[in-house]
A = this chain, B = another copy of it.
Amino acid sequence: MASISPRSPPVVLELEKNSEASTTTSKFVLHDVILRVFLFATSLVALVTSKQTETIPVPFPPYGASVAAEFTDLPAFIYSSAVLSVTCFYSIITTILSFSALVKRSTTSSKLMSCVFSVDVLLLGILASTTGASGEVAYLGLKGNSNVGWHKICNVYDSYCRHIGFSVLTSIFSSMVLSFLIILYIITVSRR
């Protein structure tokens, strides 16, 4: 906060406040751009890793046969891929928006910002739910569940399982980045 000295006339104080607000805003825009680039990177990696099709030799008779493990085998992964594609595309658009604000050294209108961050909130909900769904399938595949008779499949679908696990991990990162983005905005806007 600008310190109030008895010598400072009100106009100087106002100017100091304005320059402080401008510094906070440009810091926010910089962090916004960095986080959105992170969001793009993590969602792209998660998307690419989840959308794999692999041919896996089966360890039981008939030996020599193989099964194709595709992400379309389980609906949770289809949902996950769709949401990750949307996140990836959305992060490109919003990065461009934030980057242009950074280059112009001006903030985008507060109406547009509130719109972007409202969509961020909705996307966080959807992305987190898809991460939960994929994570649950990956966990069931890894451990199985004897109570309901679902056997583990990761001993057969070995490398495919690893990819799915990595995809779930990067999805969690994406969700965390989105959360940080929204929290950063809330804190910055509340300080005004």
A interface list, Cβ under 8 A from B: 73-76, 110-111, 113-114, 117-118, 121-122, 124-137, 139-141, 145, 147-151, 153, 175-176, 178-179, 182-183, 185-187, 189-192
Contact = CB atoms under 8 A, between A and B. Distances in A.
A180 to B, nearest CB: 9
Enumerate the 3 nearest inter-chain pairs by beta-carbon distance, A residue then B residue, closest first: A132-B132, A129-B132, A114-B190
Number of copies: 2
A136 B128 contact: no
A76 B113 contact: no
B139 A148 contact: no
Given A133-B133, A136-B133, A136-B136, A191 B110 contact: yes
Contacts of A132: 128-133, 136
Max count, chain B CB within 10 A of own CB: residue among A137, A176, A190: A190
Contacts of A191: 110, 114
A99 B189 CA distance: 23
Given A73-B145, A125-B178, A150-B151, 16 more contacts: A74-B147, A74-B148, A110-B191, A111-B190, A114-B187, A114-B191, A118-B186, A125-B179, A128-B128, A129-B135, A129-B175, A131-B132, A140-B150, A150-B150, A182-B186, A185-B186
